[in-house]
Amino acid sequence: MQKNKNNDNITPITAAVFSLLTYLALTAGSGSILLWSLPELIAAIIFAAVTALLVYRVFNSLKIKTTPAFLNPIRWILLLAYALGPFFIALTKANLDVAYRVLTGKINPGIVKIKPDLETDLGITLLANSITLTPGTLSVDLDEENNLFIHWINVKHPEPKIEDVCSCFPEWIRRITQ
């Protein structure tokens, strides 16, 4: 496990910046100060402050470990490449597979356990969300050692290899988050 003691203040500020950018993107074209009107700009700043406060309180009370290295832009480019490349291909394949199972009704469900060996909380979150977003696999729970329990619609083997369940996701996520 990583130990990050000095980044307690970075997370709320990052959240505030993201909130501000999202609000500005959604209200672009509303007025004459650059692209925005004055009330929208004030509202954006207020909402960013409220978001920062909420993130600070939630992260402090739940003691969530954050990964400041994720602010590195190279990791963002890798994440984008992952989302558009291998992830989208896996998503399409899995959707066609589930579409076939919906039409024929041939299902073989079960809950299997995989050991992804990811160290950071961010990595395991990204992997669990990638698995859930891919049809046919659905992450149900995880234990203390970051092993995921996955509901699989077509169980081929009761103790499968990671590649069978989520193709090449763990390697990409290790590259992005570590």
28 binds another protein (CB under 8 A): yes
- Three-class SS of residue 80? helix
Letters for 148-177 (x = contact with another protein by CB under 8 A, - = none) are: -x-x-x-x--x-------------------
User: Given CA atoms 139, 142, 148, 154 in this order, what sign does their dihedral have?
Assistant: negative
Cβ neighbors of 35 (< 8 A, separation 6 or more) are 28, 29
111 binds another protein (CB under 8 A): yes
Tokens found for residue 178: 């570590």
Cβ neighbors of 110 (< 8 A, separation 6 or more) are 151, 152, 155, 158
124 binds another protein (CB under 8 A): no
β pairing state of 110-114 and 148-152: antiparallel
Nearer to another protein, 6 or 34 (CB): 34
Among 39, 68, 85, 109, the residue binding another protein under the rule CB under 8 A is 109
Among 10, 13, 17, 26, the residue binding another protein under the rule CB under 8 A is 26
- Three-class SS of residue 33? strand
- Tell the smallest beta-carbon distance from residue 3 to another protein (Å): 26
Stretch that binds another protein, among 6-14, 20-28, 67-75, 164-172 (CB under 8 A): 20-28
Say which amino acid occupies 139: S
Among 121, 132, 168, 174, the residue binding another protein under the rule CB under 8 A is 132
Burial 123-150 (b: 16+ CB within 10 A, else e): bbebbbebbeebbbbbbeebeeebebeb
- Tell the smallest beta-carbon distance from residue 13 to another protein (Å): 20
The residues of the shown chain that bind another protein, judged by CB under 8 A, are 22, 25-26, 28-29, 91-92, 94-95, 98-99, 102-103, 105, 107-113, 128-130, 132-136, 138-141, 143, 149, 151, 153, 155, 158
